[in-house]
Amino acid sequence: MKFLFTSVALTSVLLAHSGECVPRARDTSSGSTPTEVDILNFALTLEHLENAFYTQGLQKYSQQDFLDENLPAWARGRWSQIAQHESTHVTFLEGALGDQAVQPCTYNFPDTDAKSFAAVSFLLETVGVSAYSGAAKYLSADTVTAAAAILAVESRHSAWVNSAVLKENPWNTAFDTPLDLNQIYTLASSVITSCPSTNMALPVKAFPALTFPAGAAPGQTVQFTYNATSPSGTQCIAFLSGLNSTIVPIGSNNTITIPSNLQGVVFAIVTTSNSTVTDADTVAGPAFLSFDFGSSAQA
């Protein structure tokens, strides 16, 4: 099963193929470091999204709908518990922010049945883990403890959905992948239709969407698409996995050979750098990719 969705300083960079990627000019106009209120409201924005997803999904899909998709009889009850968790996270963050708290947005989730609801649930919970781990550096010692407590629960949600329900791997590598604010917002904004004008402006922007074909797998050469003006010079795709990235030059007609050693959830970004993954070098993405593997660690 493969999930593809239109994402940090990384410990190491592996060049999978030879080739140069031409860096473009650095963006020196970015704003100041986000405040703790910014980060908490960003977290609340994501929790509102998850809360709405589960509320709407459990209203749309009955127990029989889940059974008709051959999902376990107990799965819907667990999702009801997850929905309660997300509602509690919203209440907790609203309490911390007081009258500065952002309000829920309007959403357009891509699920069309109980099985796709499960797939989107896995995606949202996994992205939530990357969001909290990536934002931790902006938080004070007191606040980061509470954020870590939420992160741990989101990670349990993600593992449960993919392993117990979808019968795939419960984890990725020895590390999860922290993402920065713009990378997370790129993924989240794809399901956000509009937000209240009274919400405080968050220090984030969305990059153009990056899409891989359904069924793409490690070792395959595939053609991808993205909605961005192509800068001059060679471009690369960085595949983010754990604390590492594998950077591969793009071939002709927007083709790429996916590195054969990738497993689990991987985030792909079109970049103009062959050595780093930064917002200044990002052209499009991230895309959410999931390369499932079995108990023997084989694809």
> Max CA-CA distance within the chain?
55
Where do you find CATH 2.60.40 in the chain? 207-291
pLDDT at position 3, please?
44
At residue 12, does pLDDT exceed 70? no
* Closest-CA residue to 233 (of 273, 269, 285): 273
**Architecture of domain 36-194 in this structure:** Up-down Bundle (1.20)
Where do you find CATH 1.20.1260.10 in the chain? 36-194
**Is there a cis peptide before residue 286, judged by omega within 30 degrees of 0?**
yes
At residue 26, does pLDDT exceed 50? no
The pTM of the full predicted model, rounded to 2 decimals, is 0.89
- CB count within 10 Å of CB 162 equals 28
pLDDT tens digits along 139-191: 999 899 999 999 999 999 999 999 999 999 999 999 999 999 999 999 999 99
- Alpha-carbon distance of 96 to 99, in angstroms, equals 9
| CATH number of the structural domain 207-291 | 2.60.40
- Alpha-carbon distance of 75 to 93, in angstroms, equals 27
pLDDT tens digits along 72-102: 999 999 999 999 999 999 999 999 999 999 9
* Closest-CA residue to 222 (of 291, 297, 293): 291
pLDDT at position 233, please?
66
Q: Which residues pair with 255 in a beta bridge?
A: 223
At residue 8, does pLDDT exceed 80? no
Amino acid at 66: F
- Alpha-carbon distance of 53 to 107, in angstroms, equals 8
pLDDT at position 231, please?
67
Coil, strand or helix: which one is 106? strand
CA dihedral 61, 64, 66, 72 (to 10 degrees): 150
Report residue 232's pLDDT band, with 50, 70 and 90 as the boundaries.
low
Q: What percent of the chain has pLDDT over 90?
A: 83
